[in-house]
Amino acid sequence: MVRLPLTPAEVERGRRLGALLRRARGDRSMLQTALAARISPETLRKIESGRVATPAFTTVAAVAAVLDVSLDTLWAEVDRNDAQDAAATG
């Protein structure tokens, strides 16, 4: 099965998600956060930097739980930015 390339909107959404998680992490170390979420520090680094634009739901859920951020809060922020982008271009 061939995976289609991501759209610019999907790439931007992934970048925003990563930035939100990075801000939520605050002063916590990447290593401690990643290990608590049971992912590699490299995976967390890629998500936070936007290099993984579509991380697995379970990965996002695990990181959000460690950071004590609800998935609803994350999605509302990402979705709000999508709506702002659409209004700016539309």
Query: Could you report the average pLDDT of every consecutive run of 10 residues in the chain (90 residues)?
Result: 88 94 97 98 97 95 98 90 63
Quote the tokens at residue 80. Answer: 């709000």
Quote the tokens at residue 30. Answer: 């990447």
pLDDT (0 to 100) of residue 88: 64
12: closest CA among 4, 24, 2, 20?
20
pLDDT (0 to 100) of residue 11: 92
pLDDT (0 to 100) of residue 79: 83
pLDDT (0 to 100) of residue 16: 94
**b/e per residue, 70-87, with b = 16+ CB within 10 A?**
eeeebeebbeebeeeeee
Domains present along the chain, CATH in parentheses? 8-89 (1.10.260.40)
Is the CB of residue 52 less than 8 Å from the CB of residue 14? yes
